[in-house]
Amino acid sequence: MNDNSSNITYRRRQLMNKALLFWILVNICIFVANAQQDPQFSQNRFNQLTVNPGFAGSSGLINVSLLNRFQWVGFPGAPVTTVFNADASVHLIGNRDGIGFSVINDVIGFEKNVSVALNYSWRSQFGRGTLGSGVSLGLINKNLNFDMTGIDGSDLVNLSDPSLPNGKVGGIVLDIGLGLFYEDENYELSFSGKHLNKPVMSFNQSGKYTIPRTYYISGSYKIKMADERIEAIPSIFYKRDLASWQADAGVIFEYDKRFWGGVGYRLGDAVIVMAGTELWNGIKFGYSYDVSLSALSRYNAGSHEFFLSYSVLLYKKHDHKYKSVRFL
């Protein structure tokens, strides 16, 4: 192959790479414009504090968890999300109050979002169960970095559109959320709203971006099997921001309240396989894998999600002690 042919091939590849990255950028912008501000998760039943402050303190334990999600593995600019949650039952106003703390780091291509929230839940007896009424107050830091270059040092995208920010821009806004979480011996119901104040973020001279309100509805029910050590737990999860919506449904089979596994389906998007166990003394580990069904399935190897949590009971006798939840 002569030098001229090599140059033509190189230019074609360079053009295709730029076209692909531009397409990714456009889709990320559409993704954000359609109010998909909040990241997507598959193990929602184990990540409820992230979307509902009413969940704080519901277990009566001290809980700490870390979740990592790698979405659309192998796809350039795919979302990578890390979540840290902590909550506990306290006695601030009533006897069954709950507090929580949540940090979310979400990276999508040129965009990075970091949110921090404090949660408070007032818990009361309601019928045969307990109702948690919660509020969250936090901050969202959004950063856009359009000053990115390719391997050869050239610009990935020609940002000649004056409506798009140049280089790196960012902003911080106040974020408010409310939530209700009801549970009894057999089922859970959850309703919450995030970004209720519709935070408006200004990017210097590049314009403003409004984070739209997002609403969540979820529920689960425990069904005892013939072997009483086995429970089937079907669940649903619905998210809507008045511009778009997303729905998940699935079932988990739990053995001896220690091992679980199940499947789920995200409408029009993916089949979800999940499993987990309580390792020892309140330490839990869970994993899920999403098999993509959308048009993007040809360009990625699915999505992986891991979580690790630890729960303890704090009780007071002569001094403060910690006790494992598995040996109560």
Please give the average per-residue pLDDT across 265-286, as a whole number.
Answer: 93
Q: What is the pLDDT of residues 234-270, one digit of tens each?
A: 999 999 997 889 999 999 999 998 999 999 999 999 9
Evaluate if residue 151 carries a pLDDT over 80: no
For the domain made up of 3-327, give the CATH fold: Porin (2.40.160)
Question: CA-to-CA distance for 100 and 63, rounded, in angstroms?
Answer: 9
Whole-angstrom Cα distance, residue 304 to residue 295?
A: 18
For the question of whether the overall pTM of this predicted structure is more than 0.85, the answer is: no
Q: Give CA–CA dist 102/49, Å, rounded.
A: 7
Looking at residue 8, what is its pLDDT? 53
pLDDT band for position 170 (cuts 50, 70, 90): confident
CA distance 180 to 87: 16
Over range 106-113, report the average pLDDT.
90
Q: Is residue 307 within 8 Å of residue 75, measured between CB atoms?
A: no
pLDDT band at residue 295 under the 50/70/90 scheme? confident
State how far the alpha carbon of 216 is from the alpha carbons of 51, 138, 241, 246, 289, in Å. Answer: 7, 18, 9, 10, 22
Task: State CA 280 to chain mean position distance.
Answer: 26
Domain boundaries, the chain: 3-327
Return the closest-CA partner of residue 109 out of 162, 30, 215, 35.
30
* Higher-scoring residue by pLDDT: 93, 74: 74
